């Protein structure tokens, strides 16, 4: 019986690694050159992939057809593949990969109806999920790390979890029974990118040191332009301002007003209450001044403008909340 797989993920390295491992398993002891047909890039046609899937194997018992980047095929062009999945060739194993979250619903429905397996290669969207994913990967490697080392790696990776396989491969050569944070530090290099909410959460806590660290990682490894980060901060405080005096007193009413997820609404509501009207007014004064400075009013480097802004915003939070997660 043929196998049908869809691999989804937002990290190209992890997605590629998972695809390689799956294809290796499907090929087994067979001849990869004869068994595997791959489609990749922006130029291949979906019809070519379907034709390959419908072609019987030659000099082998099975074929493995790999179609990468199927997220680029919209609902208007997936009909041939959907039709094939209604009656797939039993000698073809089909592997489809998709970057990001957007995959035609008709295609996913057809895959599930055909008994296919949809697998996420994502390491998770928050630190807790990523830490669990790191623990799993470390457990299946030849590297042994103490708790401090695992925590250091989670901090260092941030969102760039695709760098973990190469790091583990490097650490495997050290031949130690258990490595500490101090022992792995020389191998870490530049810290990875972080999601924007790591910055805004640190500001809301009043944790200036962490907020500046998160800013540096967004500007550096994250490649975010200062004006993009400015827009993130403006949106963050605009939510609080909309709640101030709105009459929204709970998560549900706040979420309804802001049109965001309940947990986002609760965070905005909590911080709006902490800052109060005066704190919000001061925040917008700081944002407006920094925006003008970024556009040339002050002869400062854009990075310096953002550092000063983030430090000042974080100091608006009452000191009693100055505790790191």
Model confidence at 320: pLDDT above 80: no
Instruction: Identify the residue with better confidence: 129 or 264.
Output: 264
Model confidence at 49: pLDDT above 70: yes
Identity of the highest mean pLDDT range in 35-39, 155-159, 251-255: 35-39
Instruction: Identify the residue with better confidence: 261 or 291.
Output: 291
Q: What is the pLDDT of residue 313?
A: 96
Do the domains spanning 4-120 and 127-187 agree at the CATH topology level?
no
Q: Domain spanning 127-187 has what CATH number?
A: 1.10.8
Average pLDDT for residues 168-197, to the nearest whole number?
76
**Coil, strand or helix at 37:** strand
CATH for the 196-321 domain, from 1.20.272.10, 2.30.30.180, 3.60.10.10, 3.40.50.720: 1.20.272.10
Q: What is the pLDDT of residue 89?
A: 93
* Cβ neighbours for 62, distance < 8 A, ≥ 6 positions apart: 2, 26, 30, 35, 91, 92, 93
Model confidence at 159: pLDDT above 80: no
What percent of the chain shows pLDDT beyond 70?
Answer: 94
Q: What is the pLDDT of residue 282?
A: 95
261 confidence band (pLDDT: 50, 70, 90): confident
Instruction: Name the class of domain 4-120.
Output: alpha beta
The vertex-292 CA angle with 221 and 259, nearest 5°, equals 70
Model confidence at 325: pLDDT above 50: no
Q: Where are the domains of the chain?
A: 4-120, 127-187, 196-321
Average pLDDT for residues 269-293, to the nearest whole number?
93
Model confidence at 154: pLDDT above 90: no
Question: What is the C-alpha to C-alpha distance for residues 300 and 42, in angstroms, rounded to an integer?
Answer: 42
Q: What is the pLDDT of residue 290?
A: 94
Model confidence at 213: pLDDT above 80: yes
Instruction: Identify the residue with better confidence: 219 or 260.
Output: 219
Sheet holding 92-99, edge to edge: 36-39, 63-67, 92-99, 4-9, 117-120
Region of 85 on the Ramachandran plot (φ > 0 left; ψ -120 to 50 alpha; else beta): alpha
User: How would you label 231-250 residue by residue, b for 16+ Cβ within 10 Å and e otherwise?
Assistant: eebeebbebbbebbeeebee
Average pLDDT, the chain: 87
Average pLDDT for residues 69-78, to the nearest whole number?
89
Kind and range of the H or E run holding 276: helix 262-294
Question: What is the C-alpha to C-alpha distance for residues 239 and 110, in angstroms, rounded to an integer?
Answer: 40
323 confidence band (pLDDT: 50, 70, 90): very low
Model confidence at 176: pLDDT above 70: no
Q: What is the pLDDT of residue 177?
A: 67
From first CA to last CA, the distance across the chain in angstroms is 50
Model confidence at 197: pLDDT above 90: no
């Amino acid at each position: 019986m043929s196998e049908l797989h869809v691999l989804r993920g937002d990290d190209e390295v992890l997605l590629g690694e998972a695809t390689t491992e799956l294809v290796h398993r499907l090929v087994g002891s067979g001849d990869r050159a004869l068994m595997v047909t791959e489609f990749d890039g922006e130029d291949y046609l979906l019809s070519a992939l379907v034709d390959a899937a419908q072609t019987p194997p030659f000099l082998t018992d099975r074929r493995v057809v790999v179609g990468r980047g199927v997220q680029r095929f919209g609902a208007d062009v997936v009909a041939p593949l959907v039709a094939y999945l209604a009656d797939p060739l039993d000698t073809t194993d089909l592997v489809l990969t998709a970057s990001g979250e957007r995959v035609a619903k008709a295609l996913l429905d057809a895959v599930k109806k055909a008994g296919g397996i949809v697998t996420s290669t994502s390491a998770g969207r928050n630190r807790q999920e990523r830490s669990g994913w790191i623990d799993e990967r470390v457990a299946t490697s030849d590297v042994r790390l103490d708790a401090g080392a695992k925590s250091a790696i989670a901090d260092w990776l941030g969102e760039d979890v695709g760098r973990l396989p190469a790091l583990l491969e490097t650490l495997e050569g050290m031949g130690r029974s258990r490595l500490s944070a101090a022992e792995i530090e020389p191998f870490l290099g530049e810290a990875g990118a972080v999601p924007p909410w790591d910055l805004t959460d640190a500001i809301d806590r009043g944790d200036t040191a962490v907020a500046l660290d998160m800013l540096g990682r967004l500007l550096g490894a994250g490649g975010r332009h200062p004006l993009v980060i400015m827009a993130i901060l403006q949106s963050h405080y605009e939510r609080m301002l909309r709640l101030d005096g709105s009459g929204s007193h709970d998560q549900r009413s706040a979420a309804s007003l802001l049109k965001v997820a309940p947990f986002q609404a609760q965070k905005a509501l909590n911080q709006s209450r902490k800052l109060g009207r005066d704190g919000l007014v001061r925040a917008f004064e700081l944002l407006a001044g920094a925006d003008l400075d970024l556009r040339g009013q002050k002869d400062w480097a854009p990075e310096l403008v953002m550092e000063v802004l983030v430090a000042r915003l974080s100091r608006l939070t009452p000191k009693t909340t100055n505790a790191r997660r």
